[in-house]
Structure 1
Amino acid sequence: MDYIKRDLENKILSLSREYSCLLITGPRQVGKTTILKRIMGNDRVYVTLDDMEERRLAKNDPALFLQMHALPIMIDEVQYAPELFSYIKIAVDNGAPPGAFWLTGSQAFNLMHLAQESLAGRTAILHLPSLSQHEIHGRGECTPFTLELDSIKARNSTNEPTDMNGIYERIFNGSMPGLVSGKYTDRDVFYSSYLQTYIERDVSEQVALIDKLLFRDFVRSAASRVGQMLNVHNIAQDVGVSDDTARRWLQVLEKSDIIFYLRPYSNNLLKRMVKTAKLYFFDTGLVAYLTRYSSPEILASGAINGAILENYVISEIQKTYHNNARECLMWYYRDKESNEIDLIMESDGMLHPIEIKRSVNPGYELSGTFKVLDKASLTRGNGAILCMRPELSAIDSENYIVPIWMI
């Protein structure tokens, strides 16, 4: 089993020279512990709060816990002892050196709330996603995906080309390090165990007396709707729970980084907009498993082939920003006249419209919808169609045709 170098490594090391505390969040089993152990050196103490004795001490006597362990320290699964945060704040305020505390946790929302309450301005918060296609198949430096022509062209030398079959194989295999690295070889057993562990540990802590089999069916129902506008009532009906229960369970999935949403873009100049978010999963392999597709070939011709491709593209773009410790404002557009844009990236006061298609030769007329953004309060910038074209091309000087393997 080989270690897969993570694009976030250099950013972690550079921020450790500036901040006394680093908090690394992300979904379960995406490699948070592995990356930090790989780069932490021999002088750092490692403590995991999966150890019940360490957890008991950290919760009941956080001051003694920190006295017992020398700095610098890495505390794994810190969400199990939120009592530590106030005492870490005291240590930082008393002059703890840069890089003194490395913290990891898999409940991003809760951890960020705790950090912002207790460690605001004192900690660097980074999000580690599952493996990106650049980390798995690429080389060289990862840069955020933008629609600047020189930036796109530079991706020729850092990303590995592939065709439609290759893209769907990447989608089907997913991006979990345990599978990609070869540590685990039975994909179905891995995802089944992943779900069981997630429900037993994370979900059961957030929802008392939950019906675990019913919740598993709920996750499967949500997975069948990736890339669609969220309809809570339909998901609730699928599994026989109330709409309020479905909303609470969706919040649990979002808080633990199983799902994320794309919100609709709107402003005062764009009228008659829909206001419903679209639903996506952080890992397309999990979606393929939950929706019972048995091979990349069947998935590529299945009912969700377009939706899961859209999910893959949006999550891969997000990863290029997370792996550079940057945020990207992303939206979609749909109005009541059926005008639709799959993705809008907002940066530097400009809106960049993107269509996502599984075609090798998408119709150039697809970029015509981009003009609806001319009425927006922000300037419309370069647009693109992301598709299965093997090489970079262009519709005109402002709209490009970009292969999905270039993300």
Structure 2
Amino acid sequence: MPKLLSRTLSSTIRRVTQSFPVLLLTGPRQVGKTTLLEQCADPERRCVTLDDLDARDLAQRDPALFLQRYPPPLLIDEVQYAPQLFSAIKLQVDRSQMPGQFWLTGSQKFHLMHGVSESLAGRVAILDLLGLSAAECAGHAKEATPFLPSPDWIERIERNERIDHRSESASTGLLDLYRRIWRGSFPRLALDENIPHNLFFSSYLQTYVQRDVQALARVGDTGAFLRLVRAAAVRTGQLLNYADLARDVDIDQKTAKAWLGILEGAGLVYLLPPWHSNLTKRLVKTPKLYFLDTGLCAYLAQWTTPEALEAGAMSGAILETYAVAEVLKSYWHNGEAVQLFFYRDRDGREIDLLIERDQKLYPIEIKKTATPSQHASRSFSLVESLGRESGHGAVICLKQTPAPLSASVTAIPIGALGAPGSLGCGR
């Protein structure tokens, strides 16, 4: 049996349960939503899953009777199958005014949000869970804090490595790193080497298409949908060109955009917007596409071994994908929202990642190199022209140990993303 790891989000779940009557935990299938909530639950909390067709039928047909049969405190798994429940839950929580009555999970966020925003606004705390973070895999879930470059990063990493000898070294070997990237972050697969990689992902896709794509999104041509998923996977880390994607899959652009919205709503892909001081212009400009699980991405792109992935054409893009997903997890798994962007201008100057926090922009480059130079951060000076104060910068790379590249930029080993206390800006 694979071991159960602590998750960073546990403390946030317990905290918000003291304040909100309803908690909604969203995320892709198989990332451990139900397992996490069961670990956090008191013994009196009951659990019912709407994957059970009888329970689903009752929830859809008679929501009030469903809540009489399954009274709170209650965990309802895969609630997206019965949005009829939201109004009934609203009536019940408004009558009792007690926190922590309902815990809900859902694996198709966009499908859920309409019903939640209409019925449960002000009553529900919404949290996002992805696959295991590097910190969680290394056993440092409680110490993981939101990722933000800091001038004292080197001292903090070195101090924690001296104090905690269990810590995974920041100098993760290249093939070990790509083995982790290739395997992915779904808990069952990440924690049990005996589960066949290909069988897990082929079954995952079949289940996802049957349950979510056909049942919820009403996609008729599932073959074309799977071709789009594969075409998107080979574009991870790239600017999203809907016309090229639609042409490769032989569908129209409107359909391509709608189907990518399904993937985004399921938590399988993330669209990183470009920075622009005008919010409206951010929404219409071209985003970058990232898969949120590198193992699924590598499987879809047909990389059969970690060694082939590391040496292949997607090597740099998959490394960038892994780093962006880790940054997202560091915030979402702490129950925090984060504003992430990239920057690219007409002259080809670019910054891989910008974190906006407290009116500052923190620039980050992600490089597949063990010897980063100051040139790796040459575009960071552009931040001052973007209408925001520049925070400390970072180059996430394959360097063995952290090192300053300048007074305002630090080179950080990508393995340090899982080291205790190395990630954060504090709380």
- Please state which band the TM-score falls in when normalised by the shorter chain: over 0.9
**2:420 counterpart residue number:** none
Say which SS state the counterpart of residue 280 (structure 1) adopts.
strand
Q: Secondary structure at the match of 1:124?
A: strand
Q: Does 1:204 align with 2:214?
A: yes
Alpha-carbon separation, structure 1, partners of 2:410 and 2:38: 41
AA in 1 matched with 2:310: A
Matched, 1:54 2:61: no
Structure 1 residue 123 corresponds to structure 2 residue 130: no
What CA distance in whole angstroms lies between the structure 2 residues aligned with 1:184 and 1:198?
22
Hey, what does 1:389 align to over in structure 2?
399
Q: Give CA deviations for 1:66-124 in whole Å, capped at 9, x if unaligned.
A: 11122211111111111111111111111242211111110112223322221111111
Assess, with a 3 A threshold, how the Cα gap between structure 1 residues 183 and 18 changes in structure 2: closer, same or farther. Answer: farther
Give a deviation string over 1:326-356, Cα, whole Å, max 9, x none: 0111100000101011111111110111110
Q: Which runs of 5+ in 2 are unaligned?
A: 418-427
Q: Distance in 2 between matches of 1:248 and 1:152?
A: 44
Write the mapping of 1:64-103 to structure 2, written as runs, cut at 5 A.
64-103=65-104
For 2:23, what is the secondary structure of its paired residue?
A: strand
Residues 319-338 of structure 1: pairs in structure 2 closer than 5 A: 319-338=329-348
Distance between the aligned counterparts of 2:68 and 2:206, measured in 1?
A: 36
Q: Alignment partner for residue 402 of structure 1, among 399, 409, 412? A: 412
Shift of 1:155: 4.7
2:387 counterpart (352, 377, 384): 377
Q: Is the 8 A contact 1:184 1:190 kept in 2?
A: no
Query: Counterpart of 1:264 in 2: which secondary structure?
Result: coil
CA deviation vs aligned residue, 1:178-197 (integer Å, no higher than 9, x gap): 11221861000000010111
8 Å contact 2:213–2:219 — kept in the other structure? no
8 Å CA contact 1:8–1:323 kept in 2: the answer is yes
Q: Counterpart in 2 of 1:182? A: 192
* Contact 2:240–2:288, Cα closer than 8 Å, also in 1: yes
Aligned to 2:424: none
The 5 A counterparts of 1:319-358 are 319-358=329-368
Corresponding residue of 1:148: 150
Q: Secondary structure at the match of 2:290?
A: strand
State the Cα distance separating 1:307 from its structure 2 match.
Answer: 0.7
Once residues 277 and 216 of structure 1 are traced to their aligned partners in structure 2, the CA distance between those partners, rounded to angstroms, is 22
Q: TM-score, normalised on structure 2?
A: 0.91
TM-score by length of 1: 0.95
Q: Does the 8 Å CA contact 1:145/1:152 hold for their aligned counterparts?
A: no
Give the letter aligned to residue 256 of structure 2: A
Q: CA deviation at 1:322?
A: 0.6
Rounded Cα–Cα distance in structure 2 between residues aligned with 1:247 and 1:356: 27
Work out which of the residue numbers 315, 319, 331 in structure 2 matches 1:305: 315
The DSSP-based 3-state class of the residue aligned with 2:238 is coil
Which blocks of at least 5 consecutive residues in structure 1 are unaligned? none
CA–CA distance in 2 between the matches of 1:354 and 1:90? 46
- 1:255 aligned to 2:256? no
What is residue 204 of structure 2 aligned with on the other side? 194
Q: Considering only aligned residues, what root-mean-square deviation do their CA atoms show, in Å? A: 2.1
Runs in 1 of length 4+ with deviation above 6 angstroms?
A: none
Which one of the candidate residues 134, 154, 168 is aligned to 1:160? Answer: 168
Of residues 275-284 and 87-96 in structure 1, the stretch that sits farther from structure 2 once superposed is 87-96
Deviation string, structure 1 residues 227-252 (Cα, Å, up to 9, x no partner): 11001111112122222221121111
* TM-aligned CA distance change 1:108 to 1:403, over 3 Å: same
- Write the distance in 1 (CA, Å) between the matches of 2:23 and 2:395: 37
Kindly indicate whether structure 1 or structure 2 has the higher relative contact order, using CA contacts under 8 Å at least 6 residues apart: 2
Q: Determine if contact 1:152/1:406 at 8 Å carries over to the other structure.
A: no
Verify the 8 A CA contact 1:385 1:400 in the aligned structure 2.
yes
Code of the residue aligned with 2:110 in structure 1: it is F
- Tell whether the 8 Å contact from 2:6 to 2:139 is kept in structure 1 after alignment: no
Residue aligned with 1:386, SS: strand
**Matched AA of 2:79:** V
Is 1:138–1:160's contact at 8 Å kept on the other side of the alignment?
no
Deviations along 1:114-158, one digit per CA (max 9) or x if unpaired, are 222211111111111111111112425111111123466445537
Out of 269, 286, 295, the residue aligned to residue 276 of structure 1 is 286
Asked if 1 retains the 8 angstrom alpha-carbon contact of 2:73 and 2:102, the reply is yes
In structure 2, C-alpha distance between the alignment counterparts of 1:154 and 1:13, rounded to whole Å = 28
